Amino acid sequence: MDENEFLAGRFEEHRARLRAVAYRMLGSLSEADDAVQETWIRLSRTDVREIDNLAGWLTTAVARVSLNMLRSRRTRREDPLDAHVPDPVVTPDEGTDPEHEAVLADLVGLALLVVLETLAPAERLAFVLHDMFALPFDEIAPIVDRTPTATRQLASRARRRVQGSPGDPDVDPIRQREVVDAFLAASRAGDFQALLALLDPDVVVRADRAAVLAGATDDVRGAMAVAETFTGRAQAARTALVDGIFGAVWAPRGKPRVIFGFTVVDGRIVGIDLLSDPDHLRETDVTFVG
């Protein structure tokens, strides 16, 4: 085996982790693969004898590549969501139901990615690397050109934003479907008061870039504003299982164009995510019900 084959083998050992880091940074499988490929190119041009910790070097490299891609994306004002929404890492406490934890992870996954999309690139990198991948701030700081203290503050700001997103959603599928059905019925009927009764006072509607380009508002907050937005709408949306979770889908001529992801807490809707990115739609399992 020559040196290049040996290096390629070592790189493959770390590919899954690198892709996970890039995906949580970029929210796009195709862009994550591009970032990993660019990391391999950088490694192949580096004297590996000078690398003491290959795993750390690769993580830093893919983080730098992802950060540059995020900044470039914002400069171009192109910010699509893509493919399967990543689930947060769930470590069940002793005695918890693994099935419950899996459903919970699916429910909060959409909301988490949409919240991450609102963060500045440096905030997102600091949060992802520290809170999701346990990198120390001393190692993250050089990537974002800040001191460890300033980097800690970046992650703290990002964490407050993320923790302000809906938590502890209901996982009872029957209750979830009842709320989704009731929301669609009230929306179609133009029943403003019925919509208000289903919405948490602090409900938030967020839309990905593709949905915004199609005419959706990217961020609507508060029960009154959300009820006004949906009153008399959703005429063609249908209740569906979206990756196994009850939500709604607008699918003209049977082709999904917009996914409505609902986060329900204590019987009220606290979050609605509008997802219209074509790659995301292709990767999502949609089963219409009723």
More confident residue, 201 or 30: 201
What is d(CA 172, CA 283) in angstroms, rounded to the nearest whole number? 24
Give the C-alpha distances (Å, rounded to integers) separating 75 from 63, 71, 78, 130, 203. Answer: 18, 6, 8, 25, 30
CA triple 37-17-282, angle to 5 deg: 70
Tally of CB atoms within 10 A around 61:
21
pTM for the structure as a whole: 0.51
CATH code of residue 254: 3.10.450.50
Q: Are 283 and 179 within one domain?
A: yes
Q: Which two tokens stand for residue 103?
A: 């459903």
Q: What is the CATH number of the domain that holds 3?
A: 1.10.1740
Q: What is the pLDDT of residue 38?
A: 96
Residue 180 in tokens: 């989704």
As a whole-number percent, the residues of the chain with pLDDT over 70 amount to 81
Residue 215 within a domain? yes
Task: Note the Cα 158 to chain centre separation in Å.
Answer: 14
Single residue among 84, 110, 128 that ends a domain in this structure: 84
Confidence of residue 165 (pLDDT cuts 50, 70, 90): low
Tell whether 180 and 281 lie within a shared domain. yes
User: How is residue 71 written in tokens?
Assistant: 């900044």
Mean local confidence (pLDDT), 105-131: 72
- The pLDDT assigned to 171 comes to 57
- Say whether both 177 and 280 belong to one domain: yes
pLDDT at 13: 93
**Of the candidate ranges 3-12, 154-163, 171-180, 187-196, the one whose mean pLDDT is the lowest:** 154-163
Confidence of residue 219 (pLDDT cuts 50, 70, 90): confident
Residue 114 lies in a domain: no
Domain boundary among 60, 84, 108: 84
Which domain-ending residue is among 18, 52, 84? 84
d(CA 44, CA 7): 8
Mean pLDDT across the chain: 80
**For residues 72-100, average pLDDT:** 43
Looking at residue 147, its amino acid is T
Number of domains comprising the chain: 2
When pLDDT is cut at 50, 70 and 90, the band that residue 94 belongs to is very low
- Mark residue 200 as left, alpha or beta (left: phi above 0; alpha: psi -120 to 50; beta: remaining): beta
- Tokens 């970029």 found at: 26
DSSP structural state of residue 50: G
Domain that holds residue 204: 173-288
pLDDT range class, residue 239, cuts 50, 70, 90: very high
Percent of the chain with pLDDT over 90: 30
